[in-house]
Amino acid sequence: MEAAVKGGTLDSKTEVARRPGRPVIAYFADVAPYPRPLYGGQIRVERLIRELLREFDVALICQSSVSEDELASNWELAARLTRIVTAPRRRLSEDSYPEWGSLAASARAALRIAIPGARPASHDAVWSDELVAKARQLFAEVQIDAVWASRTWMAEIARQAGARRIHVDVDDFEGRLMRERVSRNAFYRRKALHWLQAAHLDRYERHLTRRFRSVSVCKPDDIACLARRRGSSVYVVPNGIDLPSDAGVEDRRSFRMIFVGALWYEPNAEALRWFVNDVLPRIRDVVPEASLIVAGRGPLSEDLPDLLSRPGIELHESPATLDELYARASLSVAPLLTGGGTSIKVLESLAHRVATVATPVAVRGLGLEPGRHIAVAASTAAFANACVELLRMPQAAHEMGVAGRMEVARRFNWEATGSAARDAVRSLLRDS
């Protein structure tokens, strides 16, 4: 078997002995799977690593301010890894950001569309020269047989470091989402520049099969976003969920809703603004007792502290666990207006047997049956009405929660996801 990069070994307390006959996979992650509680992207990284370890040895290379020693000492999977390497993203000045930095920076980013093969300007904000150097050192010291990269820019970092046998795992097609966002907005001064940036990013993502050996997406619909190249391999590696053992708890609190999501993530902040400002007042007009739990990893977006300090809203920033909070809620809400990939948090609420009301964006690609597994509503009035109906009909909410959990257990398990990921890696290793 031809290795992607060859070399010796390094004496390091974050390294374990390589098991004979097992290929070594370098997992390039855009986040560290630590500290807990993990949010969606971290959950996917941790569970895919766990699943890949069933068949391969794994070295973790990730973007994080968490030190290698801290991760090695506190993360339960660390002892099973061949190596752990971390480095933070570089810090750009505010003027340098391609989208909302200086007008000159935004214009330069837009003009990259005219340069054949140029990486998208959005990669600049998440790039790490330090991680490139550390990965290059790892490749010189440890035989790495293939790379799994969790984002496109992580795949480019691996490529810059010298790897050639690379699988890129695409969670979101950011170019498509940016084009949708720009097109939806009314005219503003930079709209043409942002449209060009979005078009460039969209073109880059559509042609990922020209740059990398194989690609995976989270849902079958996303295959259409890729321009297929002869000899390229595309896989569906969906998100999964761990079923909580106490999902049958009967201590649901009437009229209590829950929203779960990373509180620094702009699509989540946008969803909360819409729900709290527009939807929640309509719900309380009919159900005055209705309250809302908001839980997720901080820090909070700038305007959220004031928004979430309103009466009847209970904020839990970076809670140690979500199980107790889900157990207290009779309804979960997923009011996302923008975003891509598949929502682990929707799967998580259903796994806890909590009836869920979601927007079409939040359930995109999940294949859940509206009205049976989940309630889906797009407009303000429809979302409020769906919440009111389930809050006032606890038996219907209970039945929907049970049906949702059964569907999640049937179709969204990490064992099946891991099997698809291992298939992709085995095919990559066979590719000469």
- Every domain of the chain and the residues it spans: 24-240+414-430, 256-411
Q: Do the two domains 24-240+414-430 and 256-411 of this chain adopt the same fold?
A: yes
> What is the pLDDT averaged over residues 142-160?
97
CA dist 72 → 16, 84, 92 (Å): 11, 7, 28
Whether residue 156 has pLDDT greater than 90: yes
Class assignment of domain 256-411?
alpha beta
Length reported for the chain:
432
Q: What is the rounded distance in angstroms from the CA atom of residue 167 to the CA atom of residue 209? A: 10
DSSP H or E stretch at residue 293: strand 291-296
* Biggest alpha carbon–alpha carbon distance for the chain: 68
Q: What is the DSSP letter of 10?
A: -
pLDDT band (50, 70, 90) for residue 297: confident
Helix/strand/coil (H/E/C) assignment for every residue in 117-147 = CCCCHHHHHHCCHHHHHHHHHHHHHCCECEE
Give residues with Cβ within 8 angstroms of 314, minimum separation 6. 291, 292, 293, 294
pLDDT tens digits for range 62-97: 999 999 999 999 999 999 999 999 999 888 899 999
**Res 18 pLDDT > 70:** no
Q: Judge contact between 244 and 354, C-beta under 8 A.
A: no
- How much of the chain, in percent, has pLDDT values that exceed 70? 93
Summarised one tens digit per residue, pLDDT across range 213-242 is 999 998 888 898 898 777 678 999 998 888
Predicted confidence (pLDDT) at residue 264 exceeds the cutoff of 70: yes
Q: Provide the pLDDT for residue 41.
A: 85
Exposed e or buried b per residue across 264-276, where buried means at least 16 C-beta atoms within 10 angstroms of its C-beta? bbebbbbbbbbbb
Residue 340 has pLDDT above 90, yes or no: no
Here the tokens at position 148 are 């799994």
The three-class DSSP label of residue 428 is helix
User: For residue range 95-134, what is the model confidence (pLDDT) as tens digits?
Assistant: 999 999 999 999 999 999 999 999 999 999 899 999 999 9
End-to-end Cα separation, the chain, in angstroms: 8
Give me the residues paired with residue 25 across strands: 58, 146
Distances in Å between the Cα of 295 and the Cα atoms of 266, 279, 298 are 15, 18, 9
Residue 385 scores a pLDDT above 90? yes
pLDDT band (50, 70, 90) for residue 342: low
325 pLDDT above the threshold of 80: yes
Q: List beta partners, residue 63.
A: 87
User: Which range, 8-22, 56-70, 341-355, has the best average confidence (pLDDT)?
Assistant: 56-70
Q: How far is CA 336 from CA 34, 78, 186, 250, 340, in A?
A: 25, 34, 20, 28, 10
Bridge partner list, 215: 168, 234
Q: Which of 321, 294, 320 is nearest to 305 (CA)?
A: 294
Residue type, 432: S
Average pLDDT, the chain: 90
Mean pLDDT over 388-403 rounds to 96
Residue for token digits 């930079």? 190
Choice between 320 and 187, residue whose per-residue pLDDT is larger: 187
Provide the pLDDT for residue 250: 54
Lookup: tokens for 110? 């837009």
For 24-240+414-430, CATH gives 3.40.50.2000
